[in-house]
Amino acid sequence: MYSQITRRTAMDKARDTGKITISGRVTLVQEISDDVQAGFLMYAPYYGKGENPKTKAGRSSRILGYVYSPFRMRDLMEGILGPGLPNVRLKIFDGNSEVKDNLMYDSLAKGAATSPKFIKKQLTNVGEHQWTLRVTSQPEFERYLDPEKNLVVLAAGLIASLLLFAFTWSFANTRRRAQVLADQMTETIKRHAQELARSNGELEQFAYIASHDLKAPLRGIDHLASWIETDLGEFLVGESRDHMTLLRQRISRMEALLKDLLDFSRAGRVETPIETVNLRELIQCQFDWLNVEKKFTLTLDMEDICIETRRTELEQIFGNLFSNAIKYHDQPNGRLEISVKSEGDYYVITVADDGPGVPPEFRERIFQMFQTLRPRDEVEGSGMGLAIIRKIIERQGGKISAENRPGGRGVQFRFFWPNTMQKDSET
């Protein structure tokens, strides 16, 4: 909405004046039928409950939002005046120019053109915006009027006065309703935010406790399975050996799942130090550590960048992305391509591989907890890695998405990471 200049002008005026303001002539986004009407938007600025700063600078700095309402001009005027005006024609133009593109309302839009004997124009200010009202006589009016008595002026004045009264009354009621609505919405949003924060805190605490407390009995099961294997020795054969192997695999999977669940509960919440990090060196180090079999190559499209950031979190992000690329690759050899570009307050980092890729219908689902594209019996994994990554990135104000890899097979992950972090603002 703010990107469109007509709407933005009205919003800025409402913010700076503290008054209800209407926009110029627009075609409303609500217009989806063939009956397209000229329209405008009414904006009431909201600075907080009971707040109304006295200065322009104060209003500009304290603005929280707007309560706004769209109006279809013909529907509005018919609601005020009824289906039409007897024996006179009323046109309303946006601004002070009577051109077709500025026409907001015509009471006889479908009527035949006439040459009126009486014409009255009047400029009026409605919602900090200027309209031109043009009232002309119709033949029925002129037959009953003495041309020497300029009663059309009185008729036009009455119409203008009635319109001004109707808009003033409507604006006064709109401001009261808008203030009440904004106060109610603010309180509701605050209450929901508090409830959400409490629920998230409880969920994270539960995940931490569950994953931590379940480790002890799981270790006991693992030890018991090991003792059974030792005691049976050479007598553990055939199907029993297969069952024991499957049990040990499931125990390892459960341990990995609990570890990842614990990591997820801690992601972005546990304080890690902010330090100067050479981004190229960090990426290369993570790649070398995971590329144990030397079957992957790495291409870096980036400058030698040093940033103030949380090293541990970046290592976790690149580690998970590299691990997934290597783990799920379906060819003997593979390639990873990394690019880093600066965009405002963030670096846009892309990590692309030439593996099997991710179908479009799964590109959002893969960021959810416990989601994998292949069965765990084929590729071991908890399905938590990308959920952890997203949580870390969003805690830092960024975002991550999965896309097609340009120019070939594979998937490309793109994420935004702040280009600096202040050490005195650690949370």
Q: Are residues 262 and 278 in the same domain?
A: no
Q: Which residues pair with 343 in a beta bridge?
A: 346
> Is residue 94, in this structure, part of any structural domain at all?
yes
Q: Got the DSSP string for 272-290?
A: --EEEEEHHHHHHHHHHHH
What tokens does 328 get?
């799920």
What tokens does 241 get?
């050996």
Q: Are residues 255 and 287 in the same domain?
A: no
> What's the pLDDT tens digit per position in 261-298?
666 666 656 667 889 999 999 999 999 999 989 999 99
Q: Are residues 150 and 256 in the same domain?
A: no
* Percent of the residues in the chain that have a pLDDT greater than 90, as a whole number: 22
C-alpha–C-alpha distance, residues 347 and 305, integer Å? 10
> Tell me, what's the pLDDT at 426?
39
Q: Which residue has the higher pLDDT, 365 or 264?
A: 365
> What's the pLDDT tens digit per position in 251-260?
776 776 666 6
Q: Does residue 417 contact residue 314 with C-beta atoms inside 8 Å? A: yes
C-alpha–C-alpha distance, residues 287 and 90, integer Å? 74
Q: Which amino acid is at 285?
A: C
> Is residue 207, in this structure, part of any structural domain at all?
no
> Is residue 197, in this structure, part of any structural domain at all?
no
Domain range for 249 is 214-266
Q: Name the band, by pLDDT with cuts 50, 70 and 90, for residue 387.
A: confident
> Tell me, what's the pLDDT at 237?
80
C-alpha–C-alpha distance, residues 307 and 309, integer Å? 6
Is the pLDDT at 97 greater than 50? The verdict is: yes
Q: Which amino acid is at 426?
A: E
Question: Could you tell me the pTM of the whole model?
Answer: 0.47
> Is residue 29, in this structure, part of any structural domain at all?
yes
Is the pLDDT at 304 greater than 80? The verdict is: yes
Please give the average per-residue pLDDT across 30-39, as a whole number: 78
Q: Are residues 59 and 167 in the same domain?
A: yes
Q: Which amino acid is at 376?
A: R
Q: Are residues 236 and 177 in the same domain?
A: no
Q: Are residues 366 and 409 in the same domain?
A: yes
What totals of helices (H) and strands (E) does the chain contain, helices first?
10, 14
Q: Does residue 128 contact residue 87 with C-beta atoms inside 8 Å? A: no
> What's the pLDDT tens digit per position in 150-161?
555 545 555 555
